[in-house]
Amino acid sequence: MMTILDGKALAQTIRTKIKDRITALASKPGLAILLVGEDPASHIYVNLKQKACEEVGIHFEKHLYAQDVSEEELISKIQELNSNPDIHGILVQIPLPNQNADHVIEAIDPVKDVDGFHPRNLEALREGKPSLAPAVALGILKLIDKALDGKNRAGLHTTIVSSDFFADPLQILLREQQISSDVVRPTNPSFQQKIAEADILIIALGRPNLIHGSMIKTGAILIDVGTTKVHGRLVGDIERATVEPVAGALSPVPGGVGPMTVAMLLLNVLNAYGKQKP
């Protein structure tokens, strides 16, 4: 029987531990988020992060900007937050409407880059040095750990269906766990073969129900990162009804990767605070 990887329950356990740790601190960790434009999904995500911060005791600041704000203005605010001792984490909600996200993110002090996308943090991750890793990748690794439940990882292979930007830190973290991986896209001639061979499948495309039961390996662990609203409800990239008789485990949409990403963001803020406080 397929196991449902309840990211919401696991995230709540992590959040409770974070709250207990923050309660014992002499001061509060602080997170600032820059939110540009009116994208409804981005506003929902930021509101969820704000609620989570308030729940565990993290000071939260939200800085709102019109969609045509200049990169210079965003970078100026980031530089101000870099020097603010009460802010230990800075996050730019992506995607940005028109601005170059790489330029804006590079302005963040790497020690405050709690989203883990600063080039210096990604480079440190590649080199096996201590760094802040992307919260979504950390959340996915926690779900995989839950699915494996202590089982031997030797020889396991992961297929990641996503952009290179998304897959890069994931591959590094998987390699640290002795799990091999490759990245494939639907246009690749070997797409079907790679899906069928995967012990672990991670997909983040935003293409509803792309993966169905006849495509996957029996007992595969499926991590669904795709979220698309269809007829008023969120749908993942994996067709749950058809994979249930075949898969070993599935992270559902909603309630899987999303809550775990927020929980790991909170943990990154707490860790960043620890590195910045004397």
Q: List the catalytic residues.
A: 49, 93, 115
Strands 200-203 vs 221-224: parallel, antiparallel or unpaired: parallel
> Which helix (H) or strand (E) element contains residue 64?
strand 59-65
Q: Which residue has the tokens 């969120």?
A: 234
Any bridge partners for residue 33, and if so which?
A: 62, 91
Tokens 């203005």, residue? 73
What are the b/e assignments for 144-174, b being 16+ CB within 10 Å?
A: bebbbeeeebeebebbbbbeeebbbbbbbbb
Q: Give the DSSP letter of residue 9.
A: H
Could you give the CA distance from residue 274 to residue 278 in angstroms, rounded to a whole number? 8
- 7-35 b/e (C-beta count within 10 Å ≥ 16 → b): beebbeebbeebeebbeeeeebbbbbbbb
Is there a contact between 158 and 199 (Cβ–Cβ < 8 Å)? yes
